[in-house]
Chains A and B, each alone.
Chain A
Amino acid sequence: MKKTAVILALILVLGLFAGCQWHEYRTPSSTFAHKIHAKPLEQKGFECLDCHRFAKIEERDFKKAIAASERHLFPGKAICHYCHVEADTRIGDAPGSCAMCHLDMYAIRPENHLLKEWKKFHALEAKSDRQSCNTCHREWFCADCHTRRDSIQTMMHPRTYRFSHSVEAQIDPASCGACHPFRFCIDCHSGKQRRYN
């Protein structure tokens, strides 16, 4: 325990002193950099007016476009998502990770995604309207959660769950079965070749 406390304290101190620039919150529009986008957009044949609603900037005059659009002429998420997200139109150069632009993922979370509880009760939605899931999530997102085990990240259960799982299993075994076949239980409880139990 002492070892852990020391390491945690070190980590915190390191983290505290690591930065010379304090946290600066960025919205998707302030994250956008014309410098990065100019070349690929030009290669793809986009003009300034394809994104921005202004009339008097000469074609491909990026300096003026940058000056005008940085804050006041942000064209809206549909324009960004056209290349970065939408399955039918996205382009290979454009990273599709939401966290690229959305530093606060909570801000774009659908209303019914009620923190951890949503994971337990998302099946009904996923069955009836998979398309709405695919608005934000790719296939690997489902497979990652449904298949990945023993990660440092807590996907579904609390970290202490191994100790207390039997209590919940006796209350709500139907929810165990949503992810685990019965052999998952047998392997551990029979002491069968599972390491470090």
Chain B
Amino acid sequence: MILLWQKNNPTKPKRKNNPGKIVRGDGPEAADRSPGPGAITVVAVLLMLAQACPLFGAEVSGKFSSLFQSRENKDGDRESVLDNYLSLDADRILHPAVSMHAYGKYGHDFDANFSDTSLYYGYLEYRTHEGRADIKLGRFPLSTHRFLTVDGMNVSLKPDGPVGVAVFGGASKYLDLDPDRFKRLFSTSEGTIYGGRLFLQGVEGTRAYAGYSREGSGDTVYQELFSGGAGRDFQAILLGKELKISADGSADYNPDRAAMEKMSARLFTSFDKKLRVLLEADLYDVQNEFPEGRELVLSILSDGRERRTFYTVFYDLNPNVAIYQSSVFTSLKMPDGGWQTGTILKGGVSGNFIEPMGLDLDLGIYRFESFIADATGISSRIRWRPHNKWILEGGLEAVSIDTPSHHDQTATTISGEVGYRPKPTLKAALFVEQSDNPEFRSDFRTGMRLDYDFSFPAGRNFPAGEGR
């Protein structure tokens, strides 16, 4: 159950119209991607689970999402890809506290006759009432100092009292390590991660945690962090109106470097439910020992230090229309010792007319100002449900970049989608997108997607609310 993952089937790797050009499967990396029994194992285990459910009883629910897209670029090359995603939750297997959760992908490229299977997570869970004891075993997503995937175990306990405890350990897994966009394989030779966390529980409107994590391989430490965070919600009446404030802060300390790698502070304010303001400030100072290719982007594009201040303001003009404005101000410490600044400005209007006419829309403009170039763009999106079963969507985006060497180059994308929703759990849609891009490919993409939410009891039924 734990060790079932991805399959590569690197058959016919070359692009049809440019047989001389390496597309995938060639070169030294291909040698490492020998066909494995992963996909067969995944299917076999899912079949076994499906067989086992009626015997032991389970409550199965999940979501199936399928996306087929065909795209053609200016050179006439075509790519037709089918991606299927399945999330599966089987609750109350054998015992009301035992469940199984999985999320995976099966993709097929019709032009290259290439398949790809990945299991993003798949774990068994033992969870008692209100999560007082929660044990996960297998591949699971983990939020520590960052979001990552771990093959291992996580144990969380919430005893009586204000403090809960969690410990985790296993092999850390990262996506985006395959050179081909079509495939998103997990790495196979990464390090291990272990750690733990103490967290506050049962205190209304207050949250806090303290944690430790160490990621490395053998004696090499990629990243070792002590983390802490706290937050509190406040409520008051100001000028006869409701005022809500949430304040949060967190810090990651690296004992190896005796340095704070990241500090964040955030303040969220809501006044009269009409005015909402989010303020955040972050300080980064990262230097890591990650293997080649897995370095943090920040440590490559600067000397690892960034200061960032962000705010966004939303104001509801009326129940249907809101205006917003947000800004990001950054300073980057460059390897030459100087600081470079940058600014992102965004603004727009958001309309929600779902109740009166089934319509919602967003229109925004933005401006990026960096030390290498400036960019100005617009984005618009409209979604309309003229009928309870039909959903129409359309969008238009354009961005213009002004650099010293290329003046005012503009990229545009226009897209549209017709969705049909015969029942609340099923939606099918046809879409089309035209992208014109002066630097990279321009393409015309069409396709369809299907989303299906399902749930059914299998085998023995526990009465509602029983157990745990």
Contacts and interface: CB of A to CB of B under 8 A. Distances in A.
Interface of A: 1, 3-4, 7-8, 11-12, 14-16, 18-26, 31, 43-46, 82-83, 87-97, 99-101, 103-104, 106-107, 111-112, 114-115, 117, 121, 123-131, 138-140, 142-144, 146-152, 154, 158-160, 162-164, 166-174, 176-187, 192-197
Given A125-B248, A151-B67, A167-B368, A89 B181 contact: no
Nearest to A176: B297
Interface stretch (B1-9, B43-51, B383-391): B383-391
B321 to A, nearest CB: 12
A174 B264 CA distance: 12
A194 B416 contact: no
A26 B180 CA distance: 44
Interface in B386-443: 386-390, 392, 394-395, 397-399, 401, 409, 411-418, 420, 424-425, 430-441, 443
Contacts of B295: 181-182
B284 interface: yes
A44 B457 CA distance: 12
Given A16-B386, A193-B27, A11 B368 contact: no
Interface string B300-329: 111000101010101000000000101010
A193 B461 contact: no
A31 B270 CA distance: 31
B248 A128 contact: yes
B217 interface: no
Nearest to B145: A127
Contact of A169 (B230, B301, B415): B301
Nearest to B369: A171
A115 B457 contact: no
A156 to B, nearest CB: 13
Nearest to B328: A172
Contacts of B392: 11-12, 15
A92 B458 contact: yes
A183 B418 contact: no
A181 B464 contact: no
B276 A114 contact: yes
Among A45, A127, A174, the most chain B Cβ lie within 10 Å of the Cβ of A174
A166 B372 contact: yes
Contacts of B458: 92
Size bin of chain B's contact surface? 35 or more
A188 B261 CA distance: 28
B441 A196 contact: yes
A93 B455 contact: yes
Contact of A45 (B131, B145, B389, B463): B463
Nearest to A15: B392
A87 B130 CA distance: 8
Given A92-B58, A172-B306, A43 B461 contact: yes
Contacts of A88: 129-130, 465, 468
Nearest to B415: A159
A97 B423 CA distance: 12
Given A18-B390, A168-B368, 17 more contacts: A14-B418, A19-B389, A95-B425, A99-B424, A100-B425, A111-B244, A111-B268, A128-B208, A128-B209, A128-B231, A142-B147, A154-B395, A158-B413, A160-B398, A164-B399, A172-B344, A174-B282
A143 B464 CA distance: 29
Contacts of B328: 171-172
A173 B355 contact: no
B63 A140 contact: yes
Contact of B59 (A92, A106, A121, A180): A92
Interface string B319-352: 0000010101010100000001011101000101
A129 B417 CA distance: 36
A147 B178 CA distance: 13
B182 interface: yes
A93 B60 CA distance: 8
A89 B360 CA distance: 34
B350 to A, nearest CB: 6
B103 interface: yes
A112 B180 contact: no
B432 A11 contact: yes
B175 interface: yes
A15 B60 contact: no
A181 B294 contact: yes
Contacts of A174: 282, 284, 297-298, 306, 308
Interface string B364-379: 0000111111110101
